[in-house]
A and B are shown apart, each in its own frame.
Chain A
């Protein structure tokens, strides 16, 4: 294995981004809105396109503003479709984000002579090139670090409110903590996170990190603070192991096909795969533990 300074920055950036996504992802899961991450990552496309068409720049601020607007629009439209169309929330979200994604594609097509948007780049991001930077600390590392701190602070401040609105929205509202507003706030945080992470690691990793670490952690614990801690650990582990996997597996798989090296493998994609593998391990651990428990209970009741 040939570890360079670049690899270190890829891992650091990956860890920061994955952890930053896992935090709002945990509360999305508790709100039973896990698919909202998927929805937002599609729905930001028209937001980005409109922001680009309006400002004619690919600067981070107009892009982020467009994406957040699109994210909020997704959440609000979903609520409206659900209420007025009387459909289940997942179906409502599906209708809304597919519609917005389609609008986004049309807008990008319209602006295609002005903007280059590479499909591969959208899906897998370009963490390998993003960390190549003239500065001592690459810009993406700054952004992802800032994002993680921002999300961690928000969740620390609003921990009680987020928990209440997720568990019992009716009680939250009668106590004067408007549950819809709190959920919308979480959507805004998820949108900001999605668009900032999007740039460097692509939508697949963002979707995976919003959902998978939280889902895996929920198999292991019944306490919310442990759930958050475990989700962070699993997210970080996915990033580290994912990158190591990306640079070792390509030699290994290349060897199988009689070549010395398979060329480029995407670290972001491998991080998402690793998260899936970690989920599988957590699930197996839980299944084995439950099976052992059941056997023990059965044996004890047999004896007595």
Chain B
């Protein structure tokens, strides 16, 4: 395990600019992921949340700026970073089983051309157990529910056994059981000294699930501990003055206040 002293910043994004054609999506973004925390990236639709993660991983071209993982370029530390794409990014009718998909997380360790063996399949099954899908290993992936598919993706990331996890909307349209399972896995990861960065869309659950938050709307409006950063003022700056969003934000902030009180009382 790598301690906070040796790796002060697991992910440091500086002055990042990303544009699709002439449309700027991410503008002058600075983002840090502190060690051993659950980090949420929130912001309105089209704010560039997913793009920020994809650009950091080199999946979309960067116009300018720098990205460092553990102080190094991404290519040198791939094995320490696991990525969970949005569920909709793949074709779930593809002819593979759940355990096949999870084993894909182990391909880098296997290297080119070597086939998947029993050892990898056993590791993949163990990862499926952790997300509560032990009985679904040999199911074809189209026969899984949306929440189960999301958990398969999570299991694949767990199989990668990384230090930093980047997840794109893991809670998007999942059932309550899946949401609980994911939260549990995230907390276990934190307890074992891993860091998780989630693109997140559901404001009310931010204080409950996350320690650290970055508010993004093309540029990073604010980032820091949830207790000091997740405020009505910052949310207004991020989301603008749209009425429904402000109401939602007010509720979220109220919940944050209450849950922080709880923590202090404990």
A residues apposed to B, CB below 8 Å: 30, 32, 86, 157-161, 163-164, 166-168, 170-171, 173-177, 218, 221-224, 227
Question: Which residues in A have their C-beta under 8 angstroms from that of B108?
Answer: 175-177
B residues apposed to A, CB below 8 Å: 21, 54, 57-59, 75, 78, 81, 83, 85, 89-91, 94-97, 100-101, 104-105, 107-108, 110, 112-116, 140, 142, 156
Question: In the complex the two chains form, is A218's CB within 8 Å of B83's CB?
Answer: no
Give the CA-CA distance A38 to B91 in the complex, in Å: 23
Question: Which residue of chain A has the shortest Cβ distance to B81 in the bound complex?
Answer: A174
Question: Which residues in B have their C-beta under 8 angstroms from that of A32?
Answer: 91
Question: Which residues in A have their C-beta under 8 angstroms from that of B156?
Answer: 171
Query: What is the distance, in angstroms, from B137's C-beta to the closest C-beta of chain A?
Result: 14
With beta carbons under 8 angstroms apart, the residue of A157, A158, A170, A222 that contacts B140 is: A222
Query: What is the distance, in angstroms, from A27's C-beta to the closest C-beta of chain B?
Result: 11
Identify the 6 closest CB pairs spanning chains A and B, nearest first.
A222-B140, A175-B108, A224-B95, A174-B83, A170-B85, A167-B94
A166-B113 contact, Cβ under 8 Å, with A86-B21, A174-B81: no
Give the CA-CA distance A218 to B96 in the complex, in Å: 12
Give the CA-CA distance A161 to B115 in the complex, in Å: 10
* Further contacts, 13 of them, CB under 8 A, given A171-B85, A174-B59, A222-B142: A160-B107, A160-B110, A160-B114, A160-B115, A161-B107, A161-B113, A167-B90, A174-B58, A175-B107, A176-B75, A176-B78, A176-B108, A222-B95
Question: In the complex the two chains form, is B104's CB within 8 Å of A168's CB?
Answer: yes
Query: What is the distance, in angstroms, from A304's C-beta to the closest C-beta of chain B?
Result: 21
Question: In the complex the two chains form, is A171's CB within 8 Å of B96's CB?
Answer: no
With beta carbons under 8 angstroms apart, the residue of B54, B110, B113 that contacts A157 is: B113
Question: In the complex the two chains form, is A164's CB within 8 Å of B104's CB?
Answer: yes
Pick from A173, A174, A176, A223 the residue with the most CB of B within 10 Å.
A174
Question: Which residues in A have their C-beta under 8 angstroms from that of B142?
Answer: 222
Question: In the complex the two chains form, is A223's CB within 8 Å of B104's CB?
Answer: no
With beta carbons under 8 angstroms apart, the residue of B57, B95, B107, B114 that contacts A177 is: B107
Give the CA-CA distance A164 to B94 in the complex, in Å: 11
Question: In the complex the two chains form, is A168's CB within 8 Å of B90's CB?
Answer: yes
Give the CA-CA distance A173 to B56 in the complex, in Å: 13
With beta carbons under 8 angstroms apart, the residue of A161, A163, A173 that contacts B59 is: A173
Question: Which residues in B have their C-beta under 8 angstroms from that of A221?
Answer: 95
Question: In the complex the two chains form, is B94's CB within 8 Å of A166's CB?
Answer: yes
Pick from B58, B95, B110 the residue with the most CB of A within 10 Å.
B95
Question: Which residues in B have their C-beta under 8 angstroms from that of A158?
Answer: 112-113
